């Protein structure tokens, strides 16, 4: 019984850490894309800007989903 409780607790903690890591890596991706957008704007590369903004929007949606999953999991 004690082993089962410890196993469940450790699995829960590992899952929570995975969510936190995913959200942090998501934030890093957003920052990198924003840097690339700034660089593309500096050189007036409109096609690159459009593509990067689409990618940023997708990453934003993924980050929001990860955050929502994380908050629903912790309840």
On whether residue 40 sits in a domain, the answer given is yes
On whether residue 66 sits in a domain, the answer given is yes
On whether residue 63 sits in a domain, the answer given is yes
On whether residue 34 sits in a domain, the answer given is yes
Q: What is the mean pLDDT of the chain?
A: 76
Residue 8 and residue 71: Cα distance in Å, rounded?
A: 19
**DSSP structural state of residue 44:** T
| Number of independent structural domains in the chain | 1
On whether residue 48 sits in a domain, the answer given is yes
**CA 6 from chain center: how many Å?**
29
Of all residues in the chain, the percent with pLDDT exceeding 90 is 37
Domain interval for residue 35 = 19-73
Block residue for tokens 């700034």 = 38
User: Helix (H, G, I), strand (E, B), or coil: what is residue 37?
Assistant: helix
**Contact at 8 Å (CB) between 49 and 37?**
yes
Q: For residue range 17-43, list pLDDT tens digits in order.
A: 444 557 778 888 899 999 999 999 999
pTM: 0.63
52 has pLDDT over 60:
yes
On whether residue 5 sits in a domain, the answer given is no
pLDDT of residue 65: 83
């Amino acid at each position: 019984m004690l082993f089962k409780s410890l196993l469940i607790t450790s699995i829960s903690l590992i899952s929570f850490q995975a969510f936190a890591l995913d959200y942090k890596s998501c934030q890093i991706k957003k920052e990198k894309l924003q840097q690339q957008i700034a660089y593309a704007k500096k050189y007036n590369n409109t096609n690159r800007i459009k593509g990067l903004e689409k990618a940023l929007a997708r990453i934003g949606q993924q980050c929001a989903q990860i955050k929502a999953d994380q908050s629903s999991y912790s309840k």
